[in-house]
Structure 1
């Protein structure tokens, strides 16, 4: 297989409501849709998930797009491949930039699945037509507003609730939710908002029977996480500082966590994600599929990956209308009894709406390869 053309669609999709975390508010989903086209005219799609600013991790959208356009694509000129996993070894010389890699590799997996007449789900080893999913709620103005949002999500059927927290927006908020919904699967996500000075505050969360506390400390820390995990019964989950299977191995050896939030985009693509899934399964770490507020392309990729049997915990793969009034795909993802349908058609199983793309487009760039 050889890629002959790449189109980059830079889009901005308005969000239904702002999404607030410890590092700021998001009012729109800004991303780049990567369309690869091979010598037979088959298109494969990936979604560049890097945020506009380097606040989640170091990688950010403009820089990641530059890496794709100016570094990766020239190296793909006349490159022939037989399997998408070959992409990882070919571009291992590029340090970091995992989201840029993931966006291109995802398109290769889509093409490969289409050429072999299989769904991406089948190609990645997934199974089942429907998937239990959870929802992630941003930081609210007060506990009462959070309880109201949780009630609405439970009413819609979501199987698990994740609440964003930060200092002074944590204990009272979690307590209010737990009092109102004593049985709900509930977890807290800090996005690295805490320091060692906050140990007692974090330990207090242990009394609320949370399924896990996600990424309380910095994105390069393993020692503080290990110290906290030793002192609480609640599972500590790592997110931002997991970029490769080697990071998971280090976390496991240091006992920094008992759960991994696996985001395909953050670890460089499906090839590395599958390595992490295998390691977690063999070593008793809970692994689940996280989200980056994806549009329809990224959501389809996540559903295919999360349908593997190792993912027993509902991931952050909400319905389209949780974030957007309108997406960029023809048939949007709808929640039914707390579950989403996993696309069964060949490739990622969804069709891009060029009409919707044009509605949200900021720029379009077509690049021909030899």
Structure 2
């Protein structure tokens, strides 16, 4: 999966916003605009997207260069404070006149209440700015008219304004919550993208280096054992294929897009998985019937296969697999009679690329992704995968909700 496929569609996100809002780069270039912003300013997407904010919305040249009346100057200062501090900056009321048409030179008096909120990257630097605004021009104009006519005469109008302000305040609160969720989603997407790239570069480097060395030796040595070389190249190619499969599975899990689900009988799943394998150790099973969950059968087979691979790698002579009902959960246990896992390491083994000394000794070419993938699959279907106590060896326990 290309990382580009994992990016959030900013335009689609901003279409959901109630208040006018822009998404800006730290250089104040417009990345996305809500429909409500385009409507409030009389602009089309082509008028603003990809343009510098203050090019798309220039100063009114007919106003004096006074920050109290010159909105663009104050807005620039506000955005610069966001960049410098990494904190939101609020501008309760500001005049910012809008051109009637792009580059027409004719401006209309407009007033806005704005707040700019930074989206920080892992290094704490500002990556994007969410600039949201609410137009209050009509509100101020009604206050002006009310002042001219007197308080008693204007009371119904003022009451209507009060109700409108209350409704708008609730909209602002709801919009703030939506923007917080949007900012969180953007940060998570960036984190997933970086993690995917790190995983790929980390895991592919060694097998590719091995392939290059073998090919270089085959090219430089005229009397090399060709069959032996081809065998080693095949092993490296198979290892590359396994790593790519792991990385693609992690990428699919990181997108948070669930695979199609079906009712899966866990006893049948275990039986099918064991029938297709030629294990080097003995297997003992205790499989209750009618233990059914709702999930992707393909992904559960991947989870179970990773647990069996891990158990086979560490078992001395035997693997035990149990399927049982423990309402409201269905349970699979995979137990080996190897050296076991120390309590301090029982969570570490589910971290990406974590490989304990025993695992490195038994499988030097392993990537350390199998158990991480298994746990993420379990979480994707509302379950939990963990290491439990056992007198001898390691005991992995998977709990999933029963199918309704």
- Tell me the TM-score normalized by structure 1: 0.22
Higher fraction of helix: 2
The structure with more radius of gyration? 2
**Larger relative contact order, structure 1 or 2 (CA cutoff 8 Å, min sep 6):** 1
- Tell me the TM-score normalized by structure 2: 0.20
